Structure 1
Amino acid sequence: MNRLTTASGDFALTRFPEDPRDQLRAWDAADEYLLEHLAALELDPAATVVVVGDRWGALATALGARRPVQITDSFLGQQATRANLARAGVGEGDVRLLTTLDAVPERIDVLVVRVPKSLALLEDQLQRLAPSLHADTVVVGGGMVKEIHTSTLKLFEQIVGPTRTSLAVKKARLIFTTPDLEIAQSGSSWPRRYVLDADAGAGAGLTAVNHAGIFCADRLDIGTRFLLKHLPARSGRGRLLDLGCGNGIVGTAAAARNPDAEALFVDESFAAVASAEETFRENLGAQRKAEFLVGDGTSSIPADSVDLVLNNPPFHTHQSITDQSARRMFGGSKAVLRSGGELFVVGNRHLGYHQMLRRIFGNCEVVAGDPKFVVLRAEKKG
């Protein structure tokens, strides 16, 4: 646990889930820069403050006295916010927690945007928020210098209004935008769809539905394409889990191959789970049995209840490269699999997931590989 010192107080903050081995802070220099700038402004105490993209709740917690609205796509970020607010003595009712799919407040007086990695997510959120701005709305964005590009600034310009940037401080930069109410607002263009081509293995011909911000929302990523070519051939009743489902195309393809199977989709992204549900329903219909959960990996899934887990684990959290997510996903998969159940994983060859799987499952075999990717299988024994 680390402490963030601001003009409004000193706050003990952690990420979620809390891990004593995790030395990554729950904020960075961009959060500090944003809070320093806001503290210097003479804001109306009654102003409606909306914070978008607050990664672990540092902004919402430090601004808790202003009763902000937080908008995030991350379940883990939302859970971290709840814990950090409680630790700071801020009542959960004092901060309104929304997802990126929820309706935004009708009037916004102060808009604080933590620039996301996904340009599509930024575009979607600015399009959703712009109609709630007025001529005097204070709009300030922030991010590390490496996160802010010419394309980032163009989006603020095109959707909100005239935009300028600050000097860099501790490799962080601010974005200042003045709302231009003359800009025509067309609304968000998301979700979007694409049809998988004939080279997509078990996914060929299926339609993928993608909300803004999910991984590879405008095309099929090459890792998923490789996994789709090597999905296990299963039949009969059983329960399959698409863990870290993204747009759900892997679980949908597996379910399409086995009409008797029940499918379960889990991701920590609200947009991903919404995408997975729309992908599944568009391809397999409204009557096919499936479950869609936003959550922390397998934490809400009963032990010994799944026959097949399909997983393409992330190897980064924001700008930090880590195997923590993969390790937790693999351990969670073993817990929820029935005896004889299988985990199929695709990953970059250099990540060495086979070693981790052997430690957790006691076994691992290579199903397929190419110079870049490998599909691995581990079985729960006993």
Structure 2
Amino acid sequence: MNDVLDDLRRHPDLEAPNLYAVDATDRLVLDEAAPLLADAPAGTVVVVGDRYGALTLGAIARHRVTGVRTHQDRLTGERALQENAERLGVDGFTSHGLTADLVAGARVVLLQLPRSLDELDEVAALVAEHADPAVVVVAGGRVKHMTTAMNDVLDRHLAVVEARLARQKSRALVASSPRPAAERPTRRWPERATHAWAGHDDLVVCAHGGAFAGTSIDIGTRALLTHLDEVPQTTGTAVDLGCGTGVLAVALARLRPGIDVIATDESATAVASALATVDANGVADRVRVTRALGTEGIPDASVDLVLLNPPFHVGATIAPAIARTLFADAARVLRPGGQLWAVWNSHLRYRPTLEQVVGPTRQVGRDPKFTVTVSTRR
């Protein structure tokens, strides 16, 4: 009988010969957790950070676990899990946000270790506060991405943390015994910080643990913010595509009160952070935050402006095709004459692609690291 892990796909995420749906860490976590999964009562197994369904479907198919609760930050991961489950005929799981209902009463938590210590802290805090006192967390990662600081973060919330032997360049940390509330750090998520911004009122940025750049404003976004008051639109609809913590959406709403803004991101952490940022800045009446892949759900040729600071990595893998996909998403929803304002790493030389996919493109700002362009939809 085939192992379910052998038949998983990444779709609808990028698929390429150097990109895999299952890795050695998935297999190690499942093996380390096997005795726990075999004895876990129904509804007490939780999976956090499953990339494409290996941990969730592996637990169900190998150990007959039922009632698995799972949280995946990326919407592509959620959909890949669902597609893999339907294709392989596996069920018995539900998807949740990173909230108390995800881990309430959990006895076993399978975790793909995030690179962000803040993200790990938020997950560990949630487990310690809401899981069963007998909970055991089996967390795995690639050795090259792991540090002893991860042990320290887990130890803040769970009193017993054990590092297991490495295998195929992956290692598991096993944590248990949630600390009493009096011994745990004060709840801190989402955090918030206030930034001075170009002579305007202070801008508040809120962020959950896994948000890119946290409560700071990353330098690419700062480069685009510098030119935001040059945007000619004063009315209509705009999209902050890949909104992150919502900085650009909030800044535009404050600069152009006549524009309605849709802020969209596939990351659950980004969406939760952006919602908090929007509320903290008092623009919830003009900024709608939604979790989506690109501009899905937005009608063709329906918006006047798109703001974009595109990523160019999938995890640790450089994948410039992501930006081209987002450029095409922007082009689809822009009205003729609508504009895409984008910032990108100068060495990537996206201008010819923007010309081809969107329309005539001009440079409005450039330094050795970032280029800001505006492309007009044909």
- TM-score of the superposed pair, with normalisation by structure 1: 0.90
The structure-2 alpha-carbon separation of the partners of 1:172 and 1:202, relative to structure 1 and needing over 3 Å to count, comes to farther
Establish whether residue 356 from structure 1 lines up as the match of residue 349 from structure 2.
Answer: no
Pick the aligned partner of 1:145 from 140, 143, 146.
143
User: Does the aligned pair in 2 maintain the 1:331–1:360 contact within 8 Å?
Assistant: yes
1:162: how far off? 2.2
1:139: how far off? 2.0
Pick the aligned partner of 1:46 from 41, 45, 50.
41
User: Does the aligned pair in 2 maintain the 1:117–1:318 contact within 8 Å?
Assistant: no
Q: 1:73 matched to which residue of 2?
A: 73
User: Does the aligned pair in 2 maintain the 1:242–1:310 contact within 8 Å?
Assistant: yes
Q: What are the superposed Cα offsets for residues 131-178 of structure 1, whole Å, 9 maximum, x if unpaired?
A: 234454332110101221111110111211222212222211111223
Q: 2:206 matched to which residue of 1?
A: 209
Establish whether residue 158 from structure 1 lines up as the match of residue 130 from structure 2.
Answer: no
How far apart, in 2, do the equivalents of 1:106 and 1:180 lie?
13
The structure-2 alpha-carbon separation of the partners of 1:378 and 1:155, relative to structure 1 and needing over 3 Å to count, comes to same
Amino acid in the other structure paired with 2:296:
S
How far apart, in 2, do the equivalents of 1:20 and 1:225 lie?
32
Amino acid in the other structure paired with 1:212:
G
- Mapping 1:14-53, distance limit 5 Å: 14-18=9-13, 21=16, 23-39=18-34, 43-46=38-41, 48-53=44-49
After superposing the two structures, state which structure 1 stretch, 204-213 or 328-337, moved more: 204-213
The structure-2 alpha-carbon separation of the partners of 1:362 and 1:259, relative to structure 1 and needing over 3 Å to count, comes to closer
Pick the aligned partner of 2:305 from 297, 304, 308.
308
1:80: how far off? 1.1
1:130: how far off? 0.9
1:362: how far off? 4.1
Establish whether residue 179 from structure 1 lines up as the match of residue 177 from structure 2.
Answer: yes
> Residue 269 of structure 2: SS of its match in structure 1?
helix
Q: Report how many aligned residue pairs link the two structures.
A: 371
What percentage of residue pairs aligned between the two structures are identical?
33
How far apart, in 1, do the equivalents of 2:276 and 2:200 lie?
15
User: Does the aligned pair in 2 maintain the 1:297–1:332 contact within 8 Å?
Assistant: yes
Q: What are the superposed Cα offsets for residues 85-109 of structure 1, whole Å, 9 maximum, x if unpaired?
A: 1122113xx1021121453332111
Amino acid in the other structure paired with 1:262:
D
How far apart, in 2, do the equivalents of 1:316 and 1:204 lie?
33
User: Does the aligned pair in 2 maintain the 1:135–1:181 contact within 8 Å?
Assistant: no
Amino acid in the other structure paired with 2:114:
P
The structure-2 alpha-carbon separation of the partners of 1:344 and 1:284, relative to structure 1 and needing over 3 Å to count, comes to same
Q: What are the superposed Cα offsets for residues 280-331 of structure 1, whole Å, 9 maximum, x if unpaired?
A: 2322344x33322101111221100111100111111122221132111100
Q: 2:8 matched to which residue of 1?
A: 13
How far apart, in 2, do the equivalents of 1:318 and 1:10 lie?
20
User: Does the aligned pair in 1 maintain the 2:253–2:287 contact within 8 Å?
Assistant: no
Q: 1:194 matched to which residue of 2?
A: 193
After superposition, the CA RMSD in angstroms is 2.2
Q: Mind listing any 5+ residue stretches in structure 2 that lack a counterpart?
A: none
Q: What are the superposed Cα offsets for residues 345-380 of structure 1, whole Å, 9 maximum, x if unpaired?
A: 111111222132122124322110111111111110
User: Does the aligned pair in 2 maintain the 1:61–1:88 contact within 8 Å?
Assistant: no
User: Does the aligned pair in 2 maintain the 1:101–1:270 contact within 8 Å?
Assistant: no
User: Does the aligned pair in 2 maintain the 1:240–1:307 contact within 8 Å?
Assistant: yes
Amino acid in the other structure paired with 2:259:
A
User: Does the aligned pair in 2 maintain the 1:104–1:129 contact within 8 Å?
Assistant: no
Amino acid in the other structure paired with 1:58:
A
The structure-2 alpha-carbon separation of the partners of 1:18 and 1:211, relative to structure 1 and needing over 3 Å to count, comes to closer
The structure-2 alpha-carbon separation of the partners of 1:292 and 1:21, relative to structure 1 and needing over 3 Å to count, comes to same
The structure-2 alpha-carbon separation of the partners of 1:129 and 1:10, relative to structure 1 and needing over 3 Å to count, comes to closer
How far apart, in 1, do the equivalents of 2:168 and 2:243 lie?
36
Q: 2:215 matched to which residue of 1?
A: 218
How far apart, in 2, do the equivalents of 1:324 and 1:179 lie?
44
Q: Mind listing any 5+ residue stretches in structure 1 that lack a counterpart?
A: none
> Residue 206 of structure 1: SS of its match in structure 2?
strand
After superposing the two structures, state which structure 1 stretch, 262-271 or 46-55, moved more: 46-55
How far apart, in 1, do the equivalents of 2:124 and 2:308 lie?
32
How far apart, in 2, do the equivalents of 1:111 and 1:285 lie?
37
